[in-house]
Structure 1
Amino acid sequence: MFAGIILLSIIFAGMYIFQSASQEKKDKIAEIILSSITPGELMQGKIIGYFVLGLVQAAVLLFFAIPITLWKTDIPVFEYLFVPETLLLVFIAILGYLLFASLFVGIGATMADVSSAGNFQGIVMMLPFLPFALIGPVISDPSGLVAQIGTYVPFTTPGILLLRLTMLEEWPWIEIAIALVILIVSIWLFMKLAGKYSK
């Protein structure tokens, strides 16, 4: 749940990048900024800025959610939270954000104006929620074929991997390593493309 909150918070923050990139292109702000920095630096700055915003939102949410959970339930939140596995789950959530943020900013930068971006926005914003279409098969068989395929597809990797790891008693470390490599390479490619198309 902790990693899921972080993933959703920073993805929602990342959605603002889409509109921001297209708005800047319309107002010619990007052209002015690009006279001082490279397109790659501009895109990375946007991604990191919205990442910090997403972390702040997640921190505020957890600041209120954890005390309420402790008060209303008997769940030992801190006992579950402060375990080494949490670090990997949070790392996966952060990689998920970087993937979608670089994708959003790259697509937003290619839009000619805000109105065309608005028409296209609904389709783009569905990408982070693709894992929800696979929830049933993954929950019924976390080690099954659907779960494994979802683990290796970059758009579904963060959500499916988080879901699988919370359900499996023994983690498939080879599958985790392959999925993380695919995710990191995808992030690198999308960031490169985002910098290229922001020119």
Structure 2
Amino acid sequence: MNNLKLIIQREFIARVRNRTFVVMTFLSPLIFVGMIALITWLATLNNEEVRQIAFFDETGMFTSDFKNSDNVTYINYSDLSLNDAKDSVVIKKLYGLLYIPKKGTNKELASSVQFYADDAPNISILNGIEDIIASKLTNQNFEEKGLDLNVIENSRARVNILIENFSGEKTSKMTNYVKMFFGGAAGYFLMMFIIIYGNMVMRSVIEEKANRIIEIIISSVKPLQLMMGKILGTSFAGILQFLIWVLLGSVLLFIATSVFGIEAQTPTGIDPSIALQEDHQEEIQLLLQDILKLPLGTLVMAFFVYFVGGYFLYSSIYAAIGAAVDSETDSQQFMLPIILPLMLGIYVGFFSVVENPHGTVSTVFSMIPLTSPIVMLMRIPFGVNWWEVLISILLLFGSIIFMVWLAGKIYRVGILMYGKKPSYKELYKWLKY
């Protein structure tokens, strides 16, 4: 037991004192916050860009319909010839030229409109132009058939489905997206932590094996103790790094939003004053209520439990691989069994859990130890029975015991093997020693 404690201390101190570890611990939050600030700033610049679009309207019907907005300015070139309009757009480097030809029927006109531009135009701008033309032609078709536009507009039915459970509690339409965000973020971060800190364990084993230090250590320490010490020591260093990241990231994000005036942008580009109108207020309130109703405490506790479980499960595999090879290059052939279940968990989470969090696929993969740390975290925001979580955790930690025993047998033989690239067949033989 004393040997295990000494190994844990040694691994922890070695990781913490490592120059790369120190630099990335304090540099990563700066990079993360800087990326958020840069993306926000670039999005602001993109929103502030005003695009000048010329239009050549042979019909004369749409001259008053193209109205300037914050992002688009329309210029009427209908008094020029089409070729002169094209030349003028190129010389003045305008965004593009909209050509509306004169046709016999509105149906022919609708399929004949053209947009000239050197670069592919923004899809939202094209959709806006199409809506303007379509609305005009539709109204004209109604008038030709003798229909009253005011009567038609007043007759339009606007349906807003309210969601309510059988207990009488109302919920937002966006509640599934909120649950998907929280669960997806937790699952994705867990996957990244497992890969990052698992690789630390593997590199540590490879480094000691390459320097032949392992031969001296193994003379006084059991291989299983050495492997567990590396896993635990690296995990404590990883937890310390993660806590520093959270603390520094929160402080830097607060400073960035305060000093540089970075404000959250609505994803649809809707002005906040419009979004807070009476017809949106109830939806926003319901959305906030749904966020507060999320089992955030359970999610945080589950994240910690599954982080520990997932880390130990995969780190034992990383340690076994590190002991089996002589360099990181040789380890690439064994990476697929590690990466594949993690990626499968992410894909199952986003494509199955979101659509049917309590379905067969979601439930099964939340029980399989190699994918449960990710899939179960993504299911928890949708509400999972406590016994399902308990079974998942028991299976996970039961698999850890088996995997540590299995990895220990490979580790015991592999750390003293040099000069030979092991195959899966060779690893199977080591299990019998």
**TM-score normalised by length of structure 2:** 0.40
Structure 2 spans left out of the alignment, 5+ residues = 1-181, 258-262, 265-287, 413-433
Alignment partners' CA distance in 2, 1:141 and 1:128: 20
More helix by share: 1
Letter in 2 for 1:181: L
- State the shift of 1:173 in Å: 1.6
1:157 aligns with 2:375: no
Q: Is the 8 A contact 2:191 2:342 kept in 1?
A: no
Q: Is the 8 A contact 1:157 1:179 kept in 2?
A: yes
1:1-199 aligned within 5 A: 4=187, 5=189, 8-67=192-251, 68=253, 83=297, 86-121=300-335, 124-134=338-348, 135-168=350-383, 171-199=384-412
Structure 1 spans left out of the alignment, 5+ residues = none
CA offset digits 1:42-72 (Å, max 9, x no partner) = 0111101111122122112211343437966
Alignment partners' CA distance in 1, 2:339 and 2:353: 22
- State the shift of 1:15 in Å: 1.5
SS at structure 2 position matched to 1:198: helix
Q: Is the 8 A contact 1:131 1:160 kept in 2?
A: yes
Alignment partners' CA distance in 2, 1:3 and 1:160: 10
Q: Is the 8 A contact 1:106 1:190 kept in 2?
A: no
Distance 1:6 1:144, change over 3 A: closer
**What is the number of residues matched between the two proteins?**
195
Letter in 2 for 1:151: S
SS at structure 1 position matched to 2:366: helix
Alignment partners' CA distance in 2, 1:121 and 1:55: 24
Distance 1:180 1:123, change over 3 A: closer
- State the shift of 1:122 in Å: 5.7
Which has the larger displacement, 142-151 or 85-94? 85-94
Alignment partners' CA distance in 2, 1:174 and 1:7: 24
Distance 1:53 1:80, change over 3 A: farther
Distance 1:20 1:122, change over 3 A: farther
- State the shift of 1:109 in Å: 1.5
Distance 1:57 1:7, change over 3 A: farther
Alignment partners' CA distance in 2, 1:167 and 1:82: 11
Alignment partners' CA distance in 1, 2:330 and 2:200: 16
Letter in 2 for 1:111: V
State the Cα RMSD in Å: 3.0
More strand by share: 2
Larger radius of gyration: 2
Residue 177 of structure 2 aligns with which residue?
none
Which has the larger displacement, 180-189 or 16-25? 16-25
CA offset digits 1:99-149 (Å, max 9, x no partner) = 111111122222254431144346534443331121211111111111111
Alignment partners' CA distance in 2, 1:6 and 1:25: 29
CA offset digits 1:76-103 (Å, max 9, x no partner) = x9x9898355223311222111111111
Alignment partners' CA distance in 1, 2:344 and 2:208: 28
SS at structure 2 position matched to 1:63: helix
Structure of higher RCO (CA pairs closer than 8 Å, 6+ residues apart): 1
